[in-house]
Structure 1
Amino acid sequence: MADMLSTSSLLSVASAATQGLTLSLGLIVAIGAQNTFVLRQGLRREHVGPIVAFCALADVSLIATGVAGMSQALGESPLLSRALALGGTVFLAVYGWRALQRARRIETLEATAQGRGLSLGAAMAQALAFTLLNPHVYLDTVLLMGNLGARQPDGLRWWFVAGAGLGSALWFGILGYGARWLAPWFARPRAWQILDRLTGVIMAVLAALLLPHAFPGL
C-alpha cells in the first residue's frame, strides 16, 4: 500500500511539474524582442549568464506570485474561479490558434553579433525592459499560469511552479549558451513553423484540461 501511495504521489508530482514545464515553454518559445536580445547576447558571448539567470528568475517569480495570489482568490470566490477558468480556456485556445496561423507564414528570428558591446549594467537594463515592460508577460505568467497553477492540489502547486521555472531556465539557457549553433537554425522559416505547430497543439490540450473548471457539469 505504501508503495502504491508513493507511486501515485510521484505521478501527481510529475504531472504537475510537466504541466508547468510545457505551458512555460509554449508561452515563451516565440519570436519576440526578449528572445532576440538573449540570442544576440549569446552570439556576442557577452554577459550571457546574468541575462539568462535574470530572465528565468523573473519568469518564475511572476509565476509564483500569480499562483500564490490566485490560489487565495479562487478559494474565496467560486464564481471568480469559473470566470477565470473560462477566460484562461479562451486565451489558450486563441493563443494556440494564432500559433497554428503563424505556422502558415514565413517568419525568422535574426540576431547578429554586430554593434558596440554593452556594459553589464546596460545589458541588464535592457533585459529588465524587454522582460517587465511587456504587458503580455503579466497576462502569461501572473494571470494565466497563476490561474492554472492555483488549481493544482495544495501539495502540487509549487511543483507546477518548479516545472515552469525549469522550462524557462532551459529555454533561455539554450538560447543564450547555444546561440552560435542555434542562430542558423532559427533563421530557417521551417524551424519556427514546426515550433508554432507544436505550440498550437500544446495550447489546445491545456485549454481542454482547463475547460471543465469553467463548466463543472461537463
Structure 2
Amino acid sequence: MMSFITSFFSGFALSASLIVAIGAQNLFVLRQGLKKEHVGPIVLFCGFSDAILIIAGVSGMGALLEAFPQIAKGFTLAGAGFLFWYGLRTLRQVTLSESMTVTQGASVALSKALTSVAAFTWLNPHVYLDTVLLMGAASTAQPLPLRPFFAAGAASASFLWFGALGYGARFLQPIFATPKSWKVLDLVIGCVMLFLATLLLVQDL
C-alpha cells in the first residue's frame, strides 16, 4: 500500500514542480480566471491535456519524439508563430483608448477560448519536454505495476494547479478593478509571449 502512495506522490511532486513555472498557458488561464469567463472548461481542458501527455510519456511515447526530432521542430515553429501573433495582439490592446475592467469588456466565445488554450498547450514544445520526455523518463524509476499510480499523481497535480489558478484568480480582482491594471497585465502578458516566442526560435537554431 505504501508503495502505491509513494509512487503517486512522487509523480505529484515532480509534476507540480514543473507546471508552476510562468508560461503562456498559465497566463492565459489566469486572465480568464480574472474575467470569470469559461473557467471550468478551460481548467478541465488543461488538466485532461496534461493527463493525456503524461500517460503518453509513461507509456513510452517519449522514445518516438527522440527518434523523430523533426516532430518537435514542427511544434516549435508553430508554437513560436502563435505566441508572436498572440503577443502582438495583446500588446495592441494596451494601446486602445478603452480597456476592460473585471466587470466589463469584450467577451470571448467558448470555442475561441478553447482554441487559444489548445494552441498554448499543444503547440508548446516545452510541454512535450516536461510531460512526455521528462515524466516518461522519471517513470522508468518506478516498478512497472506502480507506473499508473505515478501517472495518476502527476495528472492530479495538473488538475489541482489549473483549478487553483483559474478559480483562485478571483481573489485578485480588487487589484484589477481599473482599466489601468488590465493594461499593465496585458503589457506583461504580451511581452512574455514575445519573449517565449523568441526563446523558442533561438533554442531551435
* Secondary structure of the corresponding residue to residue 178 of structure 1: helix
Normalization by structure 1: what TM-score? 0.59
2:11 pairs, out of 11, 20, 33, with 20
Question: Partners of 2:112 and 2:125 in 1: how far apart?
Answer: 22
Report the aligned-residue RMSD: 2.4
- Partner of 1:31 in structure 2? 22
Which deviations, in whole Å up to 9, do the C-alpha atoms of 1:8-65 show, x marking residues without a partner? xx21111111111111110010111111110111111111111000101110110100
Matches of residues 1-218 of structure 1 in structure 2 within 5 Å? Answer: 10-69=1-60, 113=102, 115-181=105-171
The 1:60–1:183 alpha-carbon spacing in structure 2 relative to 1, beyond 3 Å, is farther
Q: Give unpaired runs (5+ residues) of structure 1.
A: 1-9, 74-79, 81-111, 188-218
Deviation at 1:69, TM superposition (A): 1.3
CA contact (8 A) 2:7 2:142 kept: yes
Amino acid of the residue matched to residue 113 of structure 2?
A
Deviation at 1:157, TM superposition (A): 0.2
* Seq. identity, %: 58
* Secondary structure of the corresponding residue to residue 31 of structure 1: coil
Q: Which runs of 4+ in 1 moved over 4 A?
A: 112-115, 182-185
Question: Partners of 2:106 and 2:44 in 1: how far apart?
Answer: 23
Question: Partners of 2:14 and 2:51 in 1: how far apart?
Answer: 12
Deviation at 1:150, TM superposition (A): 2.9
Question: Partners of 2:21 and 2:155 in 1: how far apart?
Answer: 17
The 1:19–1:141 alpha-carbon spacing in structure 2 relative to 1, beyond 3 Å, is same
The 1:139–1:45 alpha-carbon spacing in structure 2 relative to 1, beyond 3 Å, is same
CA contact (8 A) 2:16 2:158 kept: yes
- Partner of 2:187 in structure 1? none
Deviation at 1:166, TM superposition (A): 0.6
Question: Partners of 1:146 and 1:184 in 2: how far apart?
Answer: 41
Question: Partners of 1:14 and 1:56 in 2: how far apart?
Answer: 21
The 1:143–1:183 alpha-carbon spacing in structure 2 relative to 1, beyond 3 Å, is farther
Question: Partners of 1:150 and 1:63 in 2: how far apart?
Answer: 13
Amino acid of the residue matched to residue 44 of structure 2?
A
The 1:42–1:166 alpha-carbon spacing in structure 2 relative to 1, beyond 3 Å, is same
